[in-house]
Amino acid sequence: MITFLLSIALLIVAYFTYGKLIEKIFGVKEARPTPAYSMKDGVDYIPMGTNRNSLIQLLNIAGVGPIFGPIMGALYGPVAFIWIVVGCIFAGAVHDYLTGMISIRNKGAHLPQLAGKFLGKTMKHMVNAIAVLLLLLVGTVFVTAPAGLLFNLMNGWVALGVITGAIFVYYIFATLLPVDKIIGRVYPILGALLVISAIGVGVMLVGTGAPIPELTLQNMHPAGAAIFPLLMITIACGAISGFHATQSPIISRTMQNERNGRKVFYGMMIVEGIIAMIWAAAAMSLFYGTDLSELIATGGAGLVVSEVAFTLLGAIGGTLAVLGVIVLPITSGDTAFRSARMIIADYIKLPQLKVASRLWIALPLFAISFVLTNMDFTLLWRYFGVTNAAISAIALFVGAMYLAIQYKFHWVASIPATFMTMVSLTFILNAPIGFGLPMITSYIGAAVGTIIILVLFAYKVKLNRAETNFKIDEDVSKAA
Protein backbone atom coordinates (compact mmCIF):
# COMPACT_ATOMS: atom_id res chain seq x y z
CA MET A 1 0.00 0.00 0.00
CA ILE A 2 2.85 2.43 0.81
CA THR A 3 4.40 1.90 -2.63
CA PHE A 4 1.04 2.55 -4.29
CA LEU A 5 0.32 5.77 -2.36
CA LEU A 6 3.88 7.04 -2.80
CA SER A 7 3.67 6.41 -6.54
CA ILE A 8 0.45 8.43 -6.81
CA ALA A 9 2.08 11.24 -4.81
CA LEU A 10 5.15 11.27 -7.07
CA LEU A 11 2.99 11.58 -10.17
CA ILE A 12 1.09 14.54 -8.71
CA VAL A 13 4.24 16.32 -7.51
CA ALA A 14 5.86 15.82 -10.93
CA TYR A 15 3.15 17.90 -12.59
CA PHE A 16 4.09 20.92 -10.49
CA THR A 17 7.87 20.37 -10.69
CA TYR A 18 9.15 18.46 -13.71
CA GLY A 19 6.20 19.60 -15.79
CA LYS A 20 7.04 23.19 -14.93
CA LEU A 21 10.67 22.57 -15.92
CA ILE A 22 9.66 21.16 -19.33
CA GLU A 23 7.40 24.16 -19.85
CA LYS A 24 10.28 26.52 -19.02
CA ILE A 25 12.70 24.72 -21.36
CA PHE A 26 10.18 24.85 -24.22
CA GLY A 27 9.41 28.54 -23.68
CA VAL A 28 5.72 29.43 -23.74
CA LYS A 29 4.68 32.51 -25.73
CA GLU A 30 1.33 33.66 -24.36
CA ALA A 31 0.98 36.51 -26.86
CA ARG A 32 1.42 34.23 -29.88
CA PRO A 33 -1.89 33.49 -31.66
CA THR A 34 -2.85 29.83 -31.74
CA PRO A 35 -4.10 28.00 -34.85
CA ALA A 36 -7.58 27.81 -33.29
CA TYR A 37 -7.93 31.53 -34.06
CA SER A 38 -5.57 32.14 -36.98
CA MET A 39 -6.83 29.14 -38.98
CA LYS A 40 -10.39 28.84 -37.68
CA ASP A 41 -12.48 26.80 -40.15
CA GLY A 42 -15.48 25.61 -38.14
CA VAL A 43 -14.53 21.92 -38.57
CA ASP A 44 -11.16 21.07 -36.99
CA TYR A 45 -9.83 24.53 -36.02
CA ILE A 46 -12.24 25.80 -33.35
CA PRO A 47 -11.32 27.60 -30.07
CA MET A 48 -12.49 25.68 -26.99
CA GLY A 49 -12.01 26.25 -23.25
CA THR A 50 -9.14 24.76 -21.26
CA ASN A 51 -11.27 22.48 -19.07
CA ARG A 52 -13.08 21.10 -22.09
CA ASN A 53 -9.81 20.61 -23.96
CA SER A 54 -8.31 18.85 -20.94
CA LEU A 55 -11.13 16.31 -20.66
CA ILE A 56 -11.17 15.75 -24.42
CA GLN A 57 -7.39 15.20 -24.42
CA LEU A 58 -7.69 12.75 -21.52
CA LEU A 59 -10.37 10.72 -23.26
CA ASN A 60 -8.50 10.91 -26.59
CA ILE A 61 -5.30 9.44 -25.18
CA ALA A 62 -6.69 7.05 -22.57
CA GLY A 63 -8.47 4.28 -24.46
CA VAL A 64 -8.25 0.85 -22.82
CA GLY A 65 -4.47 1.28 -22.67
CA PRO A 66 -4.16 2.60 -19.09
CA ILE A 67 -6.50 -0.18 -17.92
CA PHE A 68 -5.90 -3.28 -20.04
CA GLY A 69 -2.13 -2.66 -20.31
CA PRO A 70 -1.52 -2.27 -16.54
CA ILE A 71 -3.75 -5.27 -15.82
CA MET A 72 -1.61 -7.46 -18.10
CA GLY A 73 1.53 -5.72 -16.81
CA ALA A 74 0.51 -6.54 -13.24
CA LEU A 75 1.70 -10.10 -13.93
CA TYR A 76 5.26 -8.75 -13.57
CA GLY A 77 4.58 -7.60 -10.01
CA PRO A 78 5.32 -4.23 -8.34
CA VAL A 79 8.13 -3.53 -10.82
CA ALA A 80 5.25 -2.37 -13.04
CA PHE A 81 4.73 0.55 -10.63
CA ILE A 82 8.26 1.77 -11.33
CA TRP A 83 7.74 1.77 -15.07
CA ILE A 84 4.40 3.61 -14.81
CA VAL A 85 5.83 6.36 -12.57
CA VAL A 86 9.21 6.83 -14.28
CA GLY A 87 7.82 6.35 -17.77
CA CYS A 88 4.92 8.73 -17.25
CA ILE A 89 6.93 11.57 -15.67
CA PHE A 90 10.11 11.53 -17.76
CA ALA A 91 8.90 10.05 -21.05
CA GLY A 92 5.14 9.99 -21.62
CA ALA A 93 4.20 13.42 -20.27
CA VAL A 94 7.24 15.02 -21.95
CA HIS A 95 6.27 13.27 -25.20
CA ASP A 96 2.70 14.55 -25.02
CA TYR A 97 3.66 18.11 -24.07
CA LEU A 98 6.30 18.56 -26.76
CA THR A 99 4.26 17.03 -29.60
CA GLY A 100 1.23 19.11 -28.65
CA MET A 101 3.12 22.39 -28.27
CA ILE A 102 5.26 21.94 -31.40
CA SER A 103 2.05 21.21 -33.31
CA ILE A 104 0.58 24.48 -32.03
CA ARG A 105 3.70 26.31 -33.23
CA ASN A 106 3.29 24.70 -36.68
CA LYS A 107 -0.34 25.38 -37.59
CA GLY A 108 -1.69 22.28 -35.83
CA ALA A 109 0.48 19.94 -37.88
CA HIS A 110 0.27 16.19 -37.35
CA LEU A 111 3.28 14.01 -36.55
CA PRO A 112 4.10 13.02 -40.17
CA GLN A 113 4.39 16.68 -41.12
CA LEU A 114 6.52 17.45 -38.06
CA ALA A 115 8.73 14.43 -38.70
CA GLY A 116 9.22 15.57 -42.29
CA LYS A 117 10.13 19.07 -41.22
CA PHE A 118 12.53 18.21 -38.39
CA LEU A 119 13.84 14.75 -39.33
CA GLY A 120 13.68 14.77 -43.15
CA LYS A 121 11.25 14.06 -45.99
CA THR A 122 11.89 10.32 -45.91
CA MET A 123 10.69 10.24 -42.31
CA LYS A 124 7.53 12.10 -43.31
CA HIS A 125 6.49 9.33 -45.71
CA MET A 126 7.49 6.56 -43.29
CA VAL A 127 5.77 8.13 -40.28
CA ASN A 128 2.66 8.82 -42.32
CA ALA A 129 2.32 5.12 -43.16
CA ILE A 130 3.13 3.98 -39.61
CA ALA A 131 0.79 6.54 -38.02
CA VAL A 132 -2.16 5.56 -40.22
CA LEU A 133 -1.46 1.88 -39.50
CA LEU A 134 -1.32 2.62 -35.76
CA LEU A 135 -4.59 4.55 -35.87
CA LEU A 136 -6.30 1.74 -37.79
CA LEU A 137 -5.10 -0.78 -35.19
CA VAL A 138 -6.19 1.52 -32.35
CA GLY A 139 -9.60 2.09 -33.92
CA THR A 140 -10.07 -1.65 -34.41
CA VAL A 141 -8.89 -2.57 -30.91
CA PHE A 142 -11.13 0.14 -29.49
CA VAL A 143 -14.13 -1.31 -31.29
CA THR A 144 -13.68 -4.91 -30.20
CA ALA A 145 -12.78 -4.17 -26.57
CA PRO A 146 -15.81 -2.01 -25.61
CA ALA A 147 -18.12 -4.20 -27.70
CA GLY A 148 -17.02 -7.23 -25.67
CA LEU A 149 -17.47 -5.38 -22.37
CA LEU A 150 -20.97 -4.20 -23.33
CA PHE A 151 -21.89 -7.70 -24.51
CA ASN A 152 -20.86 -9.15 -21.14
CA LEU A 153 -22.51 -6.32 -19.18
CA MET A 154 -25.83 -7.04 -20.92
CA ASN A 155 -25.39 -10.82 -20.50
CA GLY A 156 -25.61 -11.37 -24.24
CA TRP A 157 -29.03 -9.69 -24.49
CA VAL A 158 -27.86 -7.81 -27.60
CA ALA A 159 -25.79 -9.61 -30.23
CA LEU A 160 -22.10 -8.77 -30.34
CA GLY A 161 -22.33 -7.92 -34.04
CA VAL A 162 -25.10 -5.41 -33.40
CA ILE A 163 -23.06 -3.69 -30.66
CA THR A 164 -19.99 -3.59 -32.91
CA GLY A 165 -22.06 -2.09 -35.74
CA ALA A 166 -23.55 0.56 -33.44
CA ILE A 167 -20.06 1.62 -32.30
CA PHE A 168 -18.94 1.90 -35.94
CA VAL A 169 -21.96 4.12 -36.73
CA TYR A 170 -21.04 6.42 -33.85
CA TYR A 171 -17.42 6.51 -35.05
CA ILE A 172 -18.54 7.60 -38.53
CA PHE A 173 -20.48 10.59 -37.17
CA ALA A 174 -17.71 11.56 -34.72
CA THR A 175 -15.12 11.36 -37.50
CA LEU A 176 -17.06 13.45 -40.01
CA LEU A 177 -18.81 16.13 -37.94
CA PRO A 178 -17.08 19.32 -36.69
CA VAL A 179 -15.06 18.71 -33.53
CA ASP A 180 -17.39 20.78 -31.32
CA LYS A 181 -20.61 19.00 -32.35
CA ILE A 182 -20.15 15.59 -30.68
CA ILE A 183 -16.64 15.42 -29.22
CA GLY A 184 -16.72 18.90 -27.73
CA ARG A 185 -20.14 18.40 -26.12
CA VAL A 186 -20.19 14.77 -25.02
CA TYR A 187 -16.59 14.27 -23.92
CA PRO A 188 -16.66 16.48 -20.81
CA ILE A 189 -19.55 14.41 -19.44
CA LEU A 190 -17.89 11.13 -20.31
CA GLY A 191 -14.60 12.41 -18.90
CA ALA A 192 -16.28 13.03 -15.56
CA LEU A 193 -17.63 9.44 -15.58
CA LEU A 194 -14.14 8.12 -16.31
CA VAL A 195 -12.51 10.08 -13.49
CA ILE A 196 -15.25 9.18 -10.99
CA SER A 197 -15.01 5.46 -11.80
CA ALA A 198 -11.22 5.46 -11.42
CA ILE A 199 -11.40 7.40 -8.15
CA GLY A 200 -14.04 4.98 -6.88
CA VAL A 201 -11.81 1.96 -7.48
CA GLY A 202 -8.80 3.76 -5.96
CA VAL A 203 -10.67 4.87 -2.85
CA MET A 204 -12.03 1.37 -2.24
CA LEU A 205 -8.55 -0.13 -2.61
CA VAL A 206 -7.27 2.16 0.13
CA GLY A 207 -10.43 2.05 2.25
CA THR A 208 -10.61 -1.75 2.33
CA GLY A 209 -6.88 -2.08 2.96
CA ALA A 210 -6.39 -4.15 -0.18
CA PRO A 211 -3.17 -6.23 -0.07
CA ILE A 212 -1.30 -4.22 -2.70
CA PRO A 213 2.25 -5.65 -2.82
CA GLU A 214 5.18 -3.42 -1.91
CA LEU A 215 8.07 -2.55 -4.17
CA THR A 216 10.41 -5.27 -5.41
CA LEU A 217 12.56 -5.52 -8.54
CA GLN A 218 11.86 -9.23 -8.83
CA ASN A 219 10.21 -10.40 -12.04
CA MET A 220 7.06 -12.22 -10.90
CA HIS A 221 5.62 -13.00 -14.34
CA PRO A 222 4.31 -16.63 -14.24
CA ALA A 223 5.78 -17.36 -17.68
CA GLY A 224 9.07 -15.60 -16.90
CA ALA A 225 8.59 -13.06 -19.71
CA ALA A 226 11.46 -10.56 -19.84
CA ILE A 227 10.83 -7.23 -18.13
CA PHE A 228 12.78 -5.42 -20.84
CA PRO A 229 11.31 -4.80 -23.36
CA LEU A 230 8.04 -6.70 -22.81
CA LEU A 231 6.82 -4.71 -19.79
CA MET A 232 7.34 -1.43 -21.71
CA ILE A 233 5.39 -2.80 -24.68
CA THR A 234 2.61 -4.17 -22.46
CA ILE A 235 2.16 -1.00 -20.39
CA ALA A 236 2.25 1.75 -23.00
CA CYS A 237 -0.67 4.08 -22.24
CA GLY A 238 -0.10 5.16 -18.65
CA ALA A 239 3.68 5.31 -19.18
CA ILE A 240 4.37 6.41 -22.78
CA SER A 241 2.34 5.93 -25.94
CA GLY A 242 3.09 7.05 -29.48
CA PHE A 243 -0.66 7.01 -30.10
CA HIS A 244 -0.84 10.22 -28.07
CA ALA A 245 1.27 12.03 -30.69
CA THR A 246 -1.54 11.38 -33.18
CA GLN A 247 -4.14 12.80 -30.80
CA SER A 248 -2.45 15.97 -29.51
CA PRO A 249 -2.86 17.85 -32.84
CA ILE A 250 -6.65 17.56 -32.46
CA ILE A 251 -6.36 19.72 -29.34
CA SER A 252 -3.53 21.87 -30.70
CA ARG A 253 -6.12 23.09 -33.22
CA THR A 254 -8.60 24.06 -30.47
CA MET A 255 -6.22 25.50 -27.82
CA GLN A 256 -6.87 29.14 -26.94
CA ASN A 257 -3.45 29.98 -25.44
CA GLU A 258 -0.05 28.31 -25.15
CA ARG A 259 -0.03 28.78 -21.38
CA ASN A 260 -2.69 26.04 -21.14
CA GLY A 261 -0.37 23.45 -22.63
CA ARG A 262 1.06 22.10 -19.39
CA LYS A 263 -2.40 21.41 -17.96
CA VAL A 264 -3.81 19.92 -21.16
CA PHE A 265 -0.83 17.89 -22.43
CA TYR A 266 1.53 17.17 -19.51
CA GLY A 267 -1.24 17.17 -16.90
CA MET A 268 -3.62 14.80 -18.63
CA MET A 269 -0.80 12.29 -19.15
CA ILE A 270 -0.19 12.41 -15.40
CA VAL A 271 -3.89 11.72 -14.84
CA GLU A 272 -3.63 8.76 -17.20
CA GLY A 273 -0.63 7.52 -15.21
CA ILE A 274 -2.70 7.67 -12.02
CA ILE A 275 -5.49 5.67 -13.69
CA ALA A 276 -2.91 3.09 -14.78
CA MET A 277 -1.56 2.86 -11.21
CA ILE A 278 -5.04 2.26 -9.81
CA TRP A 279 -5.86 -0.58 -12.20
CA ALA A 280 -2.42 -2.20 -11.87
CA ALA A 281 -2.79 -2.10 -8.09
CA ALA A 282 -6.33 -3.51 -8.26
CA ALA A 283 -5.19 -6.41 -10.45
CA MET A 284 -2.21 -7.18 -8.21
CA SER A 285 -4.16 -7.07 -4.95
CA LEU A 286 -7.31 -8.91 -5.98
CA PHE A 287 -6.00 -11.51 -8.44
CA TYR A 288 -2.26 -11.66 -8.02
CA GLY A 289 -0.07 -14.41 -9.50
CA THR A 290 -1.51 -17.56 -11.03
CA ASP A 291 -5.13 -16.51 -10.47
CA LEU A 292 -4.62 -13.30 -12.46
CA SER A 293 -2.84 -15.19 -15.23
CA GLU A 294 -5.68 -17.71 -15.48
CA LEU A 295 -8.33 -14.98 -15.41
CA ILE A 296 -6.65 -13.10 -18.28
CA ALA A 297 -6.26 -16.36 -20.22
CA THR A 298 -9.95 -17.14 -19.70
CA GLY A 299 -11.61 -13.83 -20.46
CA GLY A 300 -8.88 -11.32 -21.19
CA ALA A 301 -8.28 -8.07 -19.33
CA GLY A 302 -11.96 -7.19 -19.80
CA LEU A 303 -12.98 -9.97 -17.42
CA VAL A 304 -10.53 -8.65 -14.81
CA VAL A 305 -12.10 -5.18 -15.17
CA SER A 306 -15.55 -6.58 -14.45
CA GLU A 307 -14.35 -8.68 -11.51
CA VAL A 308 -12.49 -5.74 -9.94
CA ALA A 309 -15.38 -3.31 -10.43
CA PHE A 310 -18.13 -5.51 -9.00
CA THR A 311 -15.95 -6.87 -6.18
CA LEU A 312 -14.94 -3.43 -4.92
CA LEU A 313 -17.99 -1.32 -5.77
CA GLY A 314 -20.96 -3.69 -5.77
CA ALA A 315 -23.67 -4.00 -8.41
CA ILE A 316 -24.50 -0.33 -9.01
CA GLY A 317 -21.02 1.06 -8.50
CA GLY A 318 -19.51 -1.79 -10.48
CA THR A 319 -21.84 -1.14 -13.40
CA LEU A 320 -20.91 2.55 -13.41
CA ALA A 321 -17.20 1.67 -13.23
CA VAL A 322 -17.47 -0.73 -16.16
CA LEU A 323 -19.36 1.92 -18.11
CA GLY A 324 -16.50 4.32 -17.32
CA VAL A 325 -14.05 1.79 -18.74
CA ILE A 326 -16.24 1.28 -21.81
CA VAL A 327 -16.20 5.04 -22.37
CA LEU A 328 -12.39 5.02 -22.62
CA PRO A 329 -11.90 2.98 -25.79
CA ILE A 330 -14.95 4.41 -27.54
CA THR A 331 -13.75 7.97 -26.96
CA SER A 332 -10.28 7.10 -28.25
CA GLY A 333 -11.46 5.01 -31.17
CA ASP A 334 -13.50 7.85 -32.65
CA THR A 335 -10.61 10.31 -32.46
CA ALA A 336 -8.25 7.64 -33.83
CA PHE A 337 -10.30 7.53 -37.01
CA ARG A 338 -10.63 11.32 -36.96
CA SER A 339 -6.85 11.67 -36.69
CA ALA A 340 -6.33 9.17 -39.51
CA ARG A 341 -8.70 11.18 -41.68
CA MET A 342 -6.87 14.43 -40.87
CA ILE A 343 -3.40 12.93 -41.43
CA ILE A 344 -4.35 11.52 -44.84
CA ALA A 345 -6.04 14.79 -45.80
CA ASP A 346 -2.94 16.78 -44.83
CA TYR A 347 -0.69 14.35 -46.68
CA ILE A 348 -2.61 14.56 -49.96
CA LYS A 349 -3.44 18.25 -49.36
CA LEU A 350 -7.22 17.80 -49.54
CA PRO A 351 -9.27 20.51 -47.73
CA GLN A 352 -11.80 19.11 -45.27
CA LEU A 353 -14.49 21.80 -45.36
CA LYS A 354 -16.85 19.65 -47.47
CA VAL A 355 -18.45 16.56 -45.94
CA ALA A 356 -17.87 14.63 -49.18
CA SER A 357 -14.10 15.24 -48.90
CA ARG A 358 -14.12 13.83 -45.38
CA LEU A 359 -16.37 10.94 -46.36
CA TRP A 360 -14.30 9.44 -49.16
CA ILE A 361 -11.24 9.35 -46.88
CA ALA A 362 -13.09 7.99 -43.84
CA LEU A 363 -15.20 5.21 -45.39
CA PRO A 364 -12.25 3.10 -46.67
CA LEU A 365 -10.68 3.38 -43.21
CA PHE A 366 -13.82 1.98 -41.60
CA ALA A 367 -14.03 -0.81 -44.17
CA ILE A 368 -10.46 -1.92 -43.45
CA SER A 369 -11.04 -1.69 -39.71
CA PHE A 370 -14.19 -3.83 -39.98
CA VAL A 371 -12.17 -6.56 -41.65
CA LEU A 372 -9.51 -6.31 -38.92
CA THR A 373 -12.11 -6.90 -36.17
CA ASN A 374 -12.01 -10.58 -37.16
CA MET A 375 -8.37 -10.83 -36.01
CA ASP A 376 -7.44 -12.18 -32.58
CA PHE A 377 -7.41 -9.36 -30.00
CA THR A 378 -4.13 -10.50 -28.44
CA LEU A 379 -2.39 -10.44 -31.82
CA LEU A 380 -3.83 -7.00 -32.60
CA TRP A 381 -2.55 -5.76 -29.22
CA ARG A 382 0.98 -6.97 -29.99
CA TYR A 383 1.07 -5.20 -33.34
CA PHE A 384 -0.40 -2.13 -31.69
CA GLY A 385 2.23 -2.30 -28.94
CA VAL A 386 5.30 -2.37 -31.15
CA THR A 387 3.92 0.24 -33.57
CA ASN A 388 3.00 2.40 -30.60
CA ALA A 389 6.53 2.21 -29.13
CA ALA A 390 8.16 3.03 -32.48
CA ILE A 391 5.96 6.09 -32.99
CA SER A 392 6.73 7.32 -29.45
CA ALA A 393 10.47 7.16 -30.16
CA ILE A 394 10.06 9.10 -33.40
CA ALA A 395 7.86 11.72 -31.72
CA LEU A 396 10.42 12.20 -28.94
CA PHE A 397 13.19 12.64 -31.52
CA VAL A 398 11.05 15.34 -33.16
CA GLY A 399 10.81 17.07 -29.78
CA ALA A 400 14.53 16.63 -29.17
CA MET A 401 15.34 18.07 -32.60
CA TYR A 402 13.07 21.06 -31.99
CA LEU A 403 14.95 21.86 -28.78
CA ALA A 404 18.43 20.99 -30.09
CA ILE A 405 18.19 23.32 -33.09
CA GLN A 406 17.58 26.17 -30.64
CA TYR A 407 20.45 25.03 -28.39
CA LYS A 408 17.97 24.24 -25.62
CA PHE A 409 18.33 21.33 -23.18
CA HIS A 410 17.20 18.59 -25.58
CA TRP A 411 18.24 15.72 -23.27
CA VAL A 412 14.79 15.79 -21.62
CA ALA A 413 13.51 14.37 -24.92
CA SER A 414 16.54 12.67 -26.49
CA ILE A 415 17.20 10.37 -23.49
CA PRO A 416 13.67 8.88 -23.41
CA ALA A 417 13.76 8.78 -27.24
CA THR A 418 16.91 6.66 -27.05
CA PHE A 419 15.33 4.37 -24.46
CA MET A 420 12.16 3.84 -26.52
CA THR A 421 14.26 3.18 -29.64
CA MET A 422 16.06 0.42 -27.76
CA VAL A 423 12.73 -0.96 -26.55
CA SER A 424 11.25 -0.99 -30.05
CA LEU A 425 14.24 -2.54 -31.78
CA THR A 426 14.71 -5.21 -29.10
CA PHE A 427 11.06 -6.24 -29.33
CA ILE A 428 11.08 -6.33 -33.14
CA LEU A 429 14.21 -8.49 -33.20
CA ASN A 430 13.05 -10.86 -30.45
CA ALA A 431 9.27 -11.20 -30.77
CA PRO A 432 7.64 -14.02 -32.77
CA ILE A 433 5.79 -11.39 -34.79
CA GLY A 434 9.22 -9.89 -35.59
CA PHE A 435 12.45 -11.75 -36.34
CA GLY A 436 12.26 -14.23 -33.45
CA LEU A 437 15.95 -13.92 -32.53
CA PRO A 438 17.36 -14.98 -29.11
CA MET A 439 17.08 -12.26 -26.48
CA ILE A 440 20.84 -11.67 -26.09
CA THR A 441 21.20 -11.34 -29.86
CA SER A 442 18.26 -8.95 -29.88
CA TYR A 443 19.86 -6.79 -27.18
CA ILE A 444 23.10 -6.52 -29.15
CA GLY A 445 21.34 -5.83 -32.43
CA ALA A 446 19.08 -3.22 -30.84
CA ALA A 447 22.06 -1.50 -29.21
CA VAL A 448 23.88 -1.27 -32.55
CA GLY A 449 20.74 0.01 -34.27
CA THR A 450 20.15 2.60 -31.55
CA ILE A 451 23.72 3.90 -31.82
CA ILE A 452 23.34 4.27 -35.60
CA ILE A 453 20.09 6.20 -35.14
CA LEU A 454 21.73 8.51 -32.57
CA VAL A 455 24.61 9.23 -34.98
CA LEU A 456 22.11 10.08 -37.73
CA PHE A 457 20.17 12.27 -35.28
CA ALA A 458 23.31 14.21 -34.30
CA TYR A 459 24.18 14.69 -37.98
CA LYS A 460 20.68 15.98 -38.72
CA VAL A 461 20.93 18.43 -35.81
CA LYS A 462 24.10 19.83 -37.35
CA LEU A 463 22.45 20.19 -40.77
CA ASN A 464 19.35 21.88 -39.39
CA ARG A 465 21.40 24.32 -37.33
CA ALA A 466 23.39 25.23 -40.43
CA GLU A 467 20.24 25.88 -42.48
CA THR A 468 19.84 29.67 -42.28
CA ASN A 469 16.28 29.64 -43.69
CA PHE A 470 15.03 26.89 -41.37
CA LYS A 471 11.79 28.03 -39.66
CA ILE A 472 11.37 26.48 -36.23
CA ASP A 473 7.84 27.86 -35.91
CA GLU A 474 5.42 28.59 -38.73
CA ASP A 475 3.79 31.99 -39.08
CA VAL A 476 0.21 31.80 -37.79
CA SER A 477 -0.66 35.47 -38.02
CA LYS A 478 -3.90 36.52 -39.67
CA ALA A 479 -1.94 37.29 -42.81
CA ALA A 480 -0.52 33.73 -43.00
Whole-number pLDDT of residue 479 = 38
Average pLDDT, the chain: 87
Residue of 356 and 450 predicted with greater confidence: 450
| Most confident listed range (134-138, 169-173, 211-215, 407-411) | 407-411
Domains of the chain: 2-392 (1.20.1740.10)
Count of Cβ atoms closer than 10 Å to residue 12 Cβ: 14
Residue of 479 and 62 predicted with greater confidence: 62
Residue of 225 and 106 predicted with greater confidence: 106
The mean per-residue pLDDT over the stretch 277-290 comes to 81
Per residue in 194-229, pLDDT (tens digit) is 777 788 888 988 988 888 888 888 888 888 889 999
Whole-number pLDDT of residue 477 = 60
Contact at 8 Å (CB) between 112 and 124? yes
473: phi > 0 → left, psi -120 to 50 → alpha, else beta; which? beta
Per residue in 154-189, pLDDT (tens digit) is 888 888 888 888 888 888 887 777 767 776 677 677
Does the structure show a pLDDT above 60 at 478?
no
Q: What percent of the chain has pLDDT over 90?
A: 43
Per residue in 246-282, pLDDT (tens digit) is 888 889 999 999 999 999 999 999 999 999 999 899 8
